[in-house]
Structure 1
Amino acid sequence: MSKRLKQAALAADLGVTQAMVSRWENGESDPPERVKRRMAELVQDAFVVAPAPTWMDLVTLNPAIEFVTDSLGMFKAISQGAVDMFGVTREEIEGRQVSQFLGGEFVGAMDNLRDSGMFQNNLAFAQSMGSVEINVASGMKTVLCDFIHWPRISEARTVYCVHSGAVIDEAAYSQRLESRNGERFATRKTF
């Protein structure tokens, strides 16, 4: 269902009959290991690979702070919430270097993401906290932020990084930092 495949199409992909797929779905028999591996690949692709315009469009609609970058540090998409925070138009940000708009500890987090293998799809996700310098329409401002970063694979198999963040006050920052044992950057490797 996740791939929107009919039984006949799935059967053709797996090299079995439609009746066999029906028996598996009804629990009448179990598929062989090679078929289970192929079905796992199909399900994994359904969750990880989505056409870039679809998920990037969803990022742009997000009212929170969210953006997508590539391995070169270019903004590929930016949420409505981030556009509002920067106080400029989407066209003024997308396609530009992150370093033109963000500084502070976020730059170090981007370097850590690259070094940790984010753009080789070696991470399930990463978290970062710190001060972020934001180049807004009225000038520079510094805020404390808490971000989660995760890889997303485009239809062309390019790995992008989705950054979702929140501006937090000093009390929340201290509390979250303490709960993370003082770690401002942490990663979780893929399986």
Structure 2
Amino acid sequence: MTEETAVLQSSLGPSLRRWRVLNRVKQQALAADLGVSQSRISRWESGVLEPDETDRRKITRLLRARPETVSDRALLELVSFASTPVHLVCDLTHRLLAASPKRTQNWHVPVAELMDKPLWRFASQSIREVEHTLDEKGWFEPLGPDIVYQTERAEFAELTIPQSRIRISRLALSDGRYARLVRDDTVAAE
């Protein structure tokens, strides 16, 4: 996985299927748009086949969160001015879309340096483990549940992830793409 396409294979197929169903796009039409066969779309969605790097980039461009409408920008503003530790990322690419001042208190660089960049490289071991179980926990279902988990403290030059209990929620943007709201469920004592 390159940083440019910081997308986990375990997320790609279910995300593609969910986007296609919600936008009422048939596999055949999507296949024509991407220049592949309908059976290839089916195998990607089921996880039987991984797209090559070129196809992965096409899919990522298609699915990456683009908060462009007034309501989407309002969500970014709410997160940016929240009084609690919270941030919003693209659900597929983990690109930072917004962060609250309480969240950025543990960051060692200005938020602008991380904005619109994947945060996956900063994932602690427990975050990585949870990410690989999202599909089995129903994350990609139409009314998928919030996921709550503990994360350990992780130190990076750019930021510190404090030990905490995290709640992630999957939010549909106006165009059917998804963002992930990441909140501290309870702030653990350090």
TM-score (structure 1 length as normaliser): 0.53
**Which structure is larger by alpha-carbon Rg, 1 or 2?**
1
The one-letter amino acid paired with 2:115 is E
Residue 149 of structure 1 is matched in structure 2 by: 168
Once the two structures are superposed, residues 75-133 of structure 1 have per-residue CA deviations (whole angstroms, 9 ceiling, x without a partner) of: 22222112121132121112112223332312222333355443554413111113141
Gapped runs of 5+ residues in structure 1?
Answer: 1-48, 171-191
**For residues 108-127 of structure 1, what are the structure 2 equivalents within 5 Å?**
108-113=129-134, 116-119=137-140, 121-127=142-148
Residue 36 of structure 1 is matched in structure 2 by: none
Q: Give the structure with the higher percent helix.
A: 1
Distance 1:115 1:56, change over 3 A: farther
105, 108, 122: which one aligns with 1:84: 105
171, 179, 182: which one aligns with 1:163: 182
- Does 2:83 match 1:63? yes
The one-letter amino acid paired with 1:144 is Q
Does structure 1 retain, via aligned residues, the 8 Å contact 2:106–2:161? no
- Does 2:111 match 1:94? no
**For residues 1-191 of structure 1, what are the structure 2 equivalents within 5 Å?**
51-69=71-89, 70-113=91-134, 116-119=137-140, 121-137=142-158, 143-165=162-184, 166-169=186-189
Does structure 2 retain, via aligned residues, the 8 Å contact 1:124–1:150? yes
Cα RMSD after superposing both structures = 2.7
Distance 1:89 1:57, change over 3 A: same
Q: Give the structure with the higher percent strand.
A: 1
Following TM superposition, by how much is the alpha carbon of 1:146 offset from its aligned partner in structure 2, in angstroms? Answer: 0.3
The one-letter amino acid paired with 1:57 is E
Following TM superposition, by how much is the alpha carbon of 1:143 offset from its aligned partner in structure 2, in angstroms? Answer: 3.4
**Which has the higher relative contact order, 1 or 2, with Cα contacts under 8 A spaced 6 or more apart?**
2
The one-letter amino acid paired with 2:169 is W
TM-score (structure 2 length as normaliser): 0.53
Distance 1:142 1:62, change over 3 A: closer
Gapped runs of 5+ residues in structure 2?
Answer: 1-68
Does structure 1 retain, via aligned residues, the 8 Å contact 2:87–2:183? yes
C-alpha separation between the residues in 2 aligned to 1:80 and 1:158? 25
Distance 1:68 1:91, change over 3 A: same
Following TM superposition, by how much is the alpha carbon of 1:134 offset from its aligned partner in structure 2, in angstroms? Answer: 3.8
- The percent of aligned pairs where both chains have the same amino acid is 11
C-alpha separation between the residues in 2 aligned to 1:142 and 1:51? 29
